[in-house]
A and B are shown apart, each in its own frame.
Chain A
Amino acid sequence: QKEVEQNSGPLSVPEGAIASLNCTYSDRGSQSFFWYRQYSGKSPELIMFIYSNGDKEDGRFTAQLNKASQYVSLLIRDSQPSDSATYLCAVFSSGSARQLTFGSGTQLTVLP
């Protein structure tokens, strides 16, 4: 069973703070890792993807990947109330079955 685990939260941070979202996965052969943001009642939207160990930065977002620990995280700097949403970690499974496995999501609330 290939699993992706996230802390469901809710996670609350004050406006301007750093929000840290964490995710672990069980399939050691996974190659690609994604963070999606989902507002209530809406479809997920891609924030970032990362393939290589280390950090990847895009604006206020930084994705961190550690394949040895099977751990991927998302940091949101200078959090804004508009960042309040559910953040979904997704892992592209290894092998020929090209499908995304999603974590249960972490609900983030940024308090003004």
Chain B
Amino acid sequence: GAVVSQHPSRVICKSGTSVKIECRSLDFQATTMFWYRQFPKQSLMLMATSNEGSKATYEQGVEKDKFLINHASLTLSTLTVTSAHPEDSSFYICSATQGTGNTIYFGEGSWLTVV
């Protein structure tokens, strides 16, 4: 089946620094990628939707200047958390869909801890 890979799986950064998370579709071209955030014991919350070559569409309440999303190619999207704070500590998950297919494949997720 289709595989979506995220890197890094775990990252610890200091407060005020920026951290980048990569999401790659390994065996298909992902025209659309989604970024979610999940706090402990809560459901996935969609942060933004990105289409290759265009600006991401952010959900209400998500700061686009803080969570920078780049979808420069059909196989790679990146999420950069800028000026990270401890409250940004969370599980970040990307997912991807190909073309007109309805199935969405998830990456393994990235645990971010801001200290």
Contact = CB atoms under 8 A, between A and B. Distances in A.
Interface of A: 31-32, 34, 36, 41-46, 49, 51, 88, 92, 97-105
Contacts of B43: 88, 102-105
A101 B6 CA distance: 21
Nearest to B36: A102
Given A97-B49, A102-B43, A104-B43, A46 B95 contact: no
Given A99-B34, A99-B46, A103-B43, A42 B109 contact: yes
Contacts of B54: none
Interface of B: 6, 32, 34, 42-44, 46, 49, 57, 91, 93, 95, 97, 102-109, 111
Contact of B93 (A44, A92, A104): A44
B32 A98 contact: yes
A11 B57 CA distance: 36
A99 to B, nearest CB: 6
9 contacts: A36-B106, A43-B106, A88-B43, A97-B49, A100-B34, A100-B104, A101-B46, A102-B44, A104-B43
A46 B95 CA distance: 12
A43 B34 contact: no
Contacts of A101: 46
A100 B108 contact: no
B6 to A, nearest CB: 8
Given A98-B97, A100-B95, A43 B46 contact: no
